[in-house]
A and B are shown apart, each in its own frame.
Chain A
């Protein structure tokens, strides 16, 4: 991860794609969101969704997984160049999370995040606050998730 000072509003992170399988969807929902339209195909067909859909929290958790993998790739590149790597996290939370369309079995969601705000932390001088707007878009170009989240990022040492 870049240091706080090197992050600019408008920076965009293309995080990659994930295809949701029935097995994935049911495994997550059985643990955290066992509503019938997330765990049972036959019941889901009778629901107003018409077929099995992923829990919105599953769609969100996959964003986190892809974001962690993205940061790891960035870190590996920085380390290979002998550059220091900034610490990131923990996150403070999110707002305006929307699930405008369901995620069905077989849907491939393309995730991205864009920096919308950076500001210094008043309580923690070593850290800055990074706010990103994130989206997941399905294979038909429809947004299935969007939210705005904030996390701590380390500032460049010595400033």
Chain B
């Protein structure tokens, strides 16, 4: 399969990646290392919090979005990294045993002004559970190499 370049992402394009199973073990492992709050570690303690039961750290959710982007298209692309994330909303607790999918929609595409070999692609991501409920949304810009450099 040829590598994806900036030219291959057109505004309006939609793709769905996954599914990926999120286990209790990985929720607790991430939390133990990076976000050791009871609501991410222990069912009994979590049930007393607003989450109403064990759920993944928001940063785990974000990291899973990254992994699904990587497996979905980044690893097969001329990715040049990302300058940041416009916004991320953790809308719904991500529970153990959920099969997640990632829906990616291309929102905007523009060439880099300073680097003729690069283009910028703005995407909106939605992490979905089995029932189609939106667990999280993210809007971020990715940098990709161009198939053909712009004339400079």
List the interface of chain A (C-beta within 8 A of B): 31-35, 37, 48-49, 55-57, 60-62, 64-65, 68, 87, 89-100, 124, 127, 147, 152
Contact = CB atoms under 8 A, between A and B. Distances in A.
A32 B75 contact: no
A57 B59 contact: yes
Given A32-B64, A68-B36, A90-B39, A97 B49 contact: no
Interface residues of B, number: 35
A29 to B, nearest CB: 9
B35 A65 contact: yes
B26 to A, nearest CB: 8
Contacts of A61: 33-35, 59, 63
A77 B16 CA distance: 48
B62 interface: yes
Interface stretch (B7-15, B76-84, B125-133): B76-84
A31 B34 CA distance: 14
Contacts of B44: none
Interface in B25-78: 33-37, 39, 49-51, 55, 57-59, 62-64, 66-67, 70, 74-75
A124 B79 CA distance: 42
Contact of B84 (A49, A65, A87, A99): A99
A152 B50 contact: yes
B82 A99 contact: yes
Given A37-B81, A65-B33, 10 more contacts: A32-B66, A34-B67, A35-B70, A57-B66, A60-B59, A64-B35, A89-B37, A93-B88, A100-B83, A147-B85
Contacts of A34: 67, 70, 75
B82 A91 contact: no
A95 B90 CA distance: 11
Contacts of A99: 82-84
Contacts of B90: 90-93
Contacts of B58: 90-91, 93
Contact of B82 (A49, A56, A92): A56
